Amino acid sequence: MADGREFFYFDDTEPYLSGAASRAVPDTRDLPPVQHGSTMRFDVLTGEWVAIAAHRMTRTFLPPANECPLCPTGRGSEPSEIPAADYDVVVFENRFPSFAQAVPPDVPDAVDGNPLWPQRPAVGRCEVVCFTSDHHASFGSLPVERVRTVIEAWANRTAELSALPGVEQVFPFENRGKEIGVTLEHPHGQIYAYPFVTPRTAQLLTRAGSHRQRTGRDLMGDVLDAERKAGERVVLEGEHWTAFVPAAARWPVEAHIVPHRAVPDLAALDDAERDELAVLYRSLLQRFEGFFGEPEDPPPYIAGWHQAPVHTGRDLTRLHLQLFSLRRAPGKLKYLAGSESGMGAWVNDAAPERIAERLREAGA
């Protein structure tokens, strides 16, 4: 890109798929180099790292469609982040990253010089994944072949980002809807390559380690087996994957997709698993969109691919998707109020069994 960021095309249509033609065209924008001063500070009270990324305050916020930076160049009033006139799937470095490889060289080891608060440069990487050039599409509306291409992009980037210095975990995810905090309406997701094992994963590894020591078995595998045996909360089941509402679901609409084979990340999936995932994941998203029976107002959601850390605990957990919406009823959101936000003590207004039943009905 014009400012030195890396950019990748993932093609599934001709003549680009075969290499007979190339989408590569120059980025003609006059852009200054990307600058950021992201650091991370250790919260001694929780044992968690917190990224401080003040430069993100100036990032683009809900531009009109004719100024969308994720549409192909030529469709809007200005050149966009994608210089080609069209594309299938693209991935590029975020211009406003929370984590990056080029880090400030002079970050003190501690805040205020006090060892109580360790501080480090926020080494890592943040990438944007554009699922389609169609500004008005959604992930659930993509053809299965395009979903398969996105899975290929996620797998490729997971492998590449996992090899970067300082990266400990890779997290592909999609935020959908203004209620979630989306700042660009074009169908897209992100990939974060963290310099630490995230709190949710660290807690899962602790639980999985205790389960392994106590039973000698795989915790996620036992959960999957139990959900498949019970069947009441299963939404979709294939040869390689099962989608279910977890027995202790936290959100008004929530589902997990878990592979039957214990694989650490997307890069470890074989072709058959990727093929079936494209079909099953698309179906689950469509069921989410139809959950409230309001196709003109699909619910906001977060879809996150939880992968094993790069260097530790890879045998204790497996790849899985968590998909959830914070809409609890048409026109009503579940707000994280005192109990959830203040104490981390969750209360769900919906029974998981009823959530699963309604998701099954949404696909009928």
DSSP per-residue codes, 108-139: -SBGGG-TTSBEEE-BSEEEEEE--S-TT--G
Compute the distance between CA of residue 364 and CA of residue 362 in angstroms, rounded to an integer.
6
Tokens of 304: 């996150």
Sequence-distant (6+) residues with CB within 8 A of 198 are 169, 171
Domains and CATH numbers, the chain: 7-197 (3.30.428.10), 200-362 (3.30.428.10)
Contact 179, 327 (CB under 8 A): yes
Reduce the DSSP state of residue 190 to 3 states and report it.
strand
Sequence-distant (6+) residues with CB within 8 A of 208 are 218, 219, 220, 313, 316, 317
Query: Please, what are the averages of pLDDT over each run of 10 residues along the chain (364 residues)?
Result: 95 95 93 86 96 78 88 90 97 94 87 96 96 96 98 98 97 94 93 98 98 98 98 98 98 97 98 98 96 88 98 96 95 90 93 97 86
Q: What CA–CA distances, in Å, run from 292 to 183, 240, 283, 358?
A: 24, 28, 16, 9
Compute the distance between CA of residue 229 and CA of residue 223 in angstroms, rounded to an integer.
10
Tokens of 40: 């991370």
Tokens of 252: 């008004």
Q: What CA–CA distances, in Å, run from 305 to 96, 191, 346?
A: 22, 10, 22
Contact 135, 71 (CB under 8 A): yes
Q: Supply the angle between the helices 199-215 and 219-230 in degrees, to the nearest 10.
A: 80
CA atoms lying within 13 Å on the CB side of residue 182: 20
CA atoms lying within 13 Å on the CB side of residue 108: 7
Residues involved in catalysis: 188
pLDDT of 60: 75
What single-letter DSSP state applies at residue 220?
Answer: H
pLDDT digits over 296-316, tens only?
A: 888 999 999 999 999 999 999
Taking every pair of Cα atoms in the chain, the longest distance, rounded to a whole number of angstroms, is: 61
Residue with token string 């205790």: 210
Helix (H) or strand (E) holding 158: helix 144-162
Tokens of 308: 């094993």
pLDDT of 192: 98
Give the DSSP per-residue string, 46-115.
Answer: TTEEEEE-GGGGGS--S--GGG-TTSBTTSSSS--SB-SS--SEEEEE-SS-SSBSS--TT--SBGGG-T
Give the DSSP per-residue string, 241-252.
Answer: EEEE--TT--SS
- pTM score over 0.85: yes
Tokens of 49: 């790292």
What single-letter DSSP state applies at residue 340?
Answer: I
Beta pairing class for 301-306 and 253-259? unpaired
Angle at 215 between CA 213 and CA 220, to 5 degrees: 90
Angle at 79 between CA 55 and CA 182, to 5 degrees: 45
Give the count of beta carbons closer than 10 Å to the beta carbon of residue 116.
Answer: 9
Tokens of 294: 């309001």
The strand pairing partners of 49, in sequence order, are 42
pLDDT of 1: 95
pLDDT of 57: 63
